[in-house]
Structure 1
Amino acid sequence: MEGFRVKLAQDDNLFEWEVAIFGPPETLYEGGYFKAQMKFPPEYPYSPPSIRFLTKVWHPNVYENGDLCISILHPPVDDPQSGELPCERWNPTQNVRTILLSVISLLNEPNTFSPANVDASVMYRRWRDSKGKDKEYENIIRKQVSGGRAEAEKDGVVIPMTLEDYCIKTKVNAPEANTDMTDFYVDDYDLDDDDDQISGEEYEDGDDSGNGES
């Protein structure tokens, strides 16, 4: 899937995953390779998983110990003091892909209203408000990205550097595969043009799956 790789930390433990997040192209994090640990509680999906970065990440929403602070992973409770709406918090319809895409989005667009790392938040706002003239925040990120590239090389991982490589596209390589879904529906099902339904007689005549014929 686009932007990240996941695998089990141990084959016999479905509740703990190793995650590698690639920095999005055309952002400060371009070329980055950030490792993280994702843990699922026994009550999942009714309770959210947690994410802790194993790679050093200087970011307004990442604590010093690597714990990620993001609304989508906060329990679905009504907490007016947090400034978060209930709809912004965890709900069981979320999955690993939506979580990690939210993390990737957060890399480039930090939430500075309730930062986990105040110093990083102040530094980021200076960089943003100066339109990149204040380089302190940018230089730290570039240094971490450079370190991530070295780690990726050691792991034998190729980091996507372009949007085309970053966004994985499904390809059908089998020569016999039929990729025209319109033809699939028309050829395999005899549709009644008048009412867009399959009549019982047409279904019985066209379906050989239950009569033992091949």
Structure 2
Amino acid sequence: MSNQSILRITRELSEIQRGSDLSLAVACRDIDVRHVRALIIGPPDTPYEFGFFEFTVKFTRGQSSHGGTDDGEYPTKAPSVTAITTNGGRTRFNPNIYAGGRVCLSILGTWRGERGEEWSSAQGLESILISIQSLMSQNPYENEPGFEDAKSDYDKRNQQNTSPRISVIERLEGYLNISKGKPPGVTVYNAEEDFQSNAVEAPFEPFKDLCKRRFLWYYESYMMSIDKELKEHKDNDPFDKMPFEGPGNIMEGTFQYSSLKKRLQAIYDKLQEEALSWAEEGRVAVQKEMSIASNLQRQFEQIVENYKKNDAITLDLELVDKNPFVWQLVLFGRPMTNLDGGVFRILIYLSPKFPDVLPRIKFETPIFHHRVSPTGVLCYDAARKEDLRSHIEAIIEAIEEESPAYDPRTLVNPEAAKLFWGTPEDKKMYNRKLRRSVQDSTE
């Protein structure tokens, strides 16, 4: 592969990683940018909502006998894309995304498209991922060729049970080694096995921490979706068969929403335990004088000094039990804002594997806010992952922003979000509830 092609791929990877799109993630091993792993988070208000769908992207190595760029080399030619969230090759999530991993998309050359829909070198990795994400629609049955006018919602009902079970629950259970309490015959999700089942080389797990953090963000949405479906489907009712199903592309099973709800709760509890365990691991790291302990101690001291000189923001920052792996941030609401007069205690749990594993943020002081879940989990995104000052700034910005752009991927309190972006009367109710929680914070 030419240097020009490698530079292009490297640039595109970097742009996606630095970008603000919370629904896309990419990673590769340092030794070879030709083999990329991509994660697409399912769009809100669809059967794929906040599911974790993983793909491999392989850029072919061009071979030219003339010393120039080969016609088969990226970006002249599209990369090959394989879906690997397939339940070990057993589940087809979408008419265009097959159980065997095939992704049918005109820009990839895997499906005949209209004129102008074919691949061009002006497109890139991000446009491919966005195109795949667009297949994850509210009614994916419409993607099936020949069924453009179909009104059936069979597939939607099936997806609403299968998608969270495989793309979220079994993935997280695999990450956390949870195997108890699941129905007989259900295997623990293993992305590495899915990876190998699609005949792609060595296992690679770059999205483990990202999925854990996003699970905590979207836990309330997962539970709300399950509760809604529980009202419509009895446990053990069979899935409806979709017209496009056939040998090798069958979605078999029964609705088991009560079980899914218990499994979601178990994952949430396990993730909370994991964050709490970092305190003891941190104390051991301090005793052993590990570099991560001194790094976090130094960052803490620098941030404290920095905010002493910052008159615009009033906060207290201290280490819990003098442990550099557990920080307590007390944020005082600024005058003339909705948080005016509030006092908010926020705990920051840090892993000995930081920054590969990012902090867990927990509001100990209840607050009614669209970016804070009912259980106190804050949705925020730091620009510089390795810099804890950037995390503190992002935490404050997420809480204080009064006119945010609408982005459903950042809304982790469904009730608050519905009011904030509802009618003028809804917005007034949101402000009243927020102000009440601010007043309660001082008691």
Please state which band the TM-score falls in when normalised by the shorter chain: 0.5 to 0.7
Residues 1:30 and 2:49 are matched in the alignment: yes
1:153 to partner: Cα distance: 5.4
Distance, in Å, in 1 between the alignment partners of 2:152 and 2:163 is 17
Tell me which residue corresponds to 1:100: 129
Residues 1:21 and 2:40 are matched in the alignment: yes
Matched residue SS, 2:33: strand
The answer on whether the counterparts of 1:31 and 1:149 sit within 8 Å (CA) in structure 2 is no
Residues 1:60 and 2:95 are matched in the alignment: yes
Distance, in Å, in 2 between the alignment partners of 1:166 and 1:60 is 32
Residues 1:146 and 2:160 are matched in the alignment: no
Distance, in Å, in 1 between the alignment partners of 2:209 and 2:39 is 13
Q: 1:192-203 counterparts in 2 under 5 A?
A: none
Q: 1:125-140 counterparts in 2 under 5 A?
A: 129-131=151-153, 135-140=157-162
Name which of 104, 111, 116 aligns with 1:69: 104
The answer on whether the counterparts of 1:32 and 1:148 sit within 8 Å (CA) in structure 2 is no
Distance, in Å, in 2 between the alignment partners of 1:100 and 1:70 is 11
Tell me which residue corresponds to 2:209: 156
Matched residue SS, 2:40: strand
The answer on whether the counterparts of 1:5 and 1:19 sit within 8 Å (CA) in structure 2 is yes
The answer on whether the counterparts of 2:57 and 2:81 sit within 8 Å (CA) in structure 1 is yes
Tell me which residue corresponds to 2:59: 40
Distance change in 2, residues 1:85/1:61 (3 Å):
same
Residues 1:7 and 2:60 are matched in the alignment: no
Distance, in Å, in 1 between the alignment partners of 2:167 and 2:84 is 14
Distance change in 2, residues 1:29/1:134 (3 Å):
closer
Distance, in Å, in 1 between the alignment partners of 2:133 and 2:380 is 13
Amino acid at match of 2:133: I
The answer on whether the counterparts of 1:61 and 1:68 sit within 8 Å (CA) in structure 2 is yes
Which deviates more from structure 2 when the two are superposed, residues 104-113 or residues 61-70? 104-113
Distance, in Å, in 1 between the alignment partners of 2:114 and 2:124 is 20
The answer on whether the counterparts of 2:108 and 2:119 sit within 8 Å (CA) in structure 1 is yes
The answer on whether the counterparts of 2:56 and 2:84 sit within 8 Å (CA) in structure 1 is yes
The answer on whether the counterparts of 1:34 and 1:148 sit within 8 Å (CA) in structure 2 is no
Percent identity reads 26
The answer on whether the counterparts of 1:33 and 1:151 sit within 8 Å (CA) in structure 2 is no
The answer on whether the counterparts of 1:24 and 1:166 sit within 8 Å (CA) in structure 2 is no
Which structure is higher in helix share?
2
Distance, in Å, in 1 between the alignment partners of 2:124 and 2:156 is 37
Scaled by the length of structure 2, the TM-score of the pair is: 0.30
1:23 to partner: Cα distance: 1.2
Distance, in Å, in 1 between the alignment partners of 2:144 and 2:379 is 27
The answer on whether the counterparts of 2:106 and 2:112 sit within 8 Å (CA) in structure 1 is no
1:170 to partner: Cα distance: 7.8
Distance change in 2, residues 1:84/1:139 (3 Å):
same
Matched residue SS, 1:21: strand
1:132-156 deviation line (CA, Å, top 9, x unaligned): 6973343223422333651695522
Residues 1:50 and 2:80 are matched in the alignment: yes
The answer on whether the counterparts of 1:7 and 1:17 sit within 8 Å (CA) in structure 2 is yes
Higher RCO, Cα 8 Å, sep 6+ = 1
1:98-129 deviation line (CA, Å, top 9, x unaligned): 11111111122642117xxxxxxx8xx9xx72
Distance, in Å, in 1 between the alignment partners of 2:56 and 2:381 is 23
Unaligned 5+ runs, structure 1: 76-81, 115-121, 175-214
Tell me which residue corresponds to 1:201: none
1:97 to partner: Cα distance: 1.1
